[in-house]
Amino acid sequence: MDLPAYLARIGMDAAPAPDAAGLAAMQRAHRLAIPFENLDIPLGRGISIDPAIVFDKLVTRRRGGYCFEQNQLFLRALRASGFAARPLLARVWLMADGMPPLTHTFNLVTIGGREWIADAGFGGSFSPPMPLEDGAASQMADGTAHRLVRQDGGWMLERAGDPGATDGRSQDTRDWQPQYSFTTAPVEGIDLELSNHWTSTRPGTRFLTMQIVSLILPDGFAALTDRQLSLHRAGVTESRPIQDAADYRTILASIFGLELSVEEVDRLSRT
């Protein structure tokens, strides 16, 4: 793990102290710098979670990735920075019809005997590290809210807002929606390989039918879903369609920091 290169990628001068404040700082820096995206799937390349390939893609080539890439990189950086951390798997309940499969990974971090969940790879609005305690909650300045609930021998992370969106900004009704459920059972590398393969290859699923790019902003959230761009900044939401391939490429570079070739964007525009 080339920790200095990773830290430079996320805009940190040095590794943080391995405490709760350091964990929060590192996770937020990661999410501000590295976009969530699944574009290699519609480009026909698939998703590898080989550590060297993930590092080259997200750090060296300054691309983004989805949870199995993002949180693997984040986990290795946490360990290299002195944190005790391990991966977990979760079932995402976004618009779920029946029991969802294990299609999300994030990290469990132990600090001074206290466990925290730390997720640098969920493609929605920002949720900071949270103590693994029933009723633990977070509220961000832009209205994003999450809470943890003990449930059926495991845990459910809930978010405020619309049941059909990954955006956790609270609505007037203040409804809580299930985001993902999990247990703290040990997760092995082969478990991650299996879940990543299913998530990135299963016909008809979210990542095979949609082009998704998102990034946490200092004052909000940016999301590109297929041909629609949405910007949530300082309490104001703006949305507009993508005009053409040139517009698509400009948005990827200017908002999300993704430099894709003309040929790549043309292929995405035709998908």
pLDDT digits (tens, 9 = 90+) for 223-245: 999 999 999 888 788 999 999 99
Q: Is the pLDDT of residue 249 over 50?
A: yes
215 part of a folded domain: no
Q: Higher pLDDT residue, 235 or 265?
A: 265
Q: pLDDT value at position 163?
A: 54
Segment 25-38 mean pLDDT:
98
Kindly list the distances between the CA atom of residue 130 and the CA atoms of 49, 114, 230, in Å, as whole numbers in the listed order: 26, 11, 27
97 classed as catalytic: no
Q: pLDDT value at position 234?
A: 80
67 classed as catalytic: yes
Query: Residues with Cβ < 8 Å from 190, sequence gap 6 or more?
Result: none
Based on its alpha-carbon atoms, the radius of gyration of the chain, rounded to whole angstroms, reads: 18
245 part of a folded domain: no
Catalytic residue chosen out of the listed positions 104, 142, 146, 232: 104
Q: pLDDT value at position 75?
A: 99
Residue type, 91: R
List the alpha helices (DSSP H) in the chain.
3-9, 20-33, 51-55, 67-80, 189-201, 206-209, 245-254, 262-270
Catalytic residue chosen out of the listed positions 40, 67, 146, 232: 67
248 part of a folded domain: no
**Average pLDDT in the chain:** 93
Q: pLDDT value at position 96?
A: 76
36 part of a folded domain: yes
- Which CATH number covers residue 113? 3.30.2140.20
Segment 165-181 mean pLDDT:
67
Q: Is the pLDDT of residue 168 over 60?
A: no
30 classed as catalytic: no
Give burial (CB, 10 Å; 0-12/13-18/19+) of 95.
exposed
Range of the domain at 86: 3-204
Kindly list the distances between the CA atom of residue 113 and the CA atoms of 83, 116, 132, in Å, as whole numbers in the listed order: 12, 10, 11
Kindly list the distances between the CA atom of residue 4 and the CA atoms of 11, 12, 60, 228, in Å, as whole numbers in the listed order: 10, 9, 12, 36
227 part of a folded domain: no
Confidence of residue 126 (pLDDT cuts 50, 70, 90): confident
217 part of a folded domain: no
Query: Model confidence over 63-110: pLDDT tens digits?
Result: 999 999 999 999 999 999 999 999 999 999 987 788 999 999 999 999
Catalytic residue chosen out of the listed positions 2, 50, 97, 119: 119
158 part of a folded domain: yes
pTM attached to this predicted model: 0.93
Q: Is the pLDDT of residue 220 over 90?
A: no
210 part of a folded domain: no
Query: What domain count does the chain have?
Result: 1
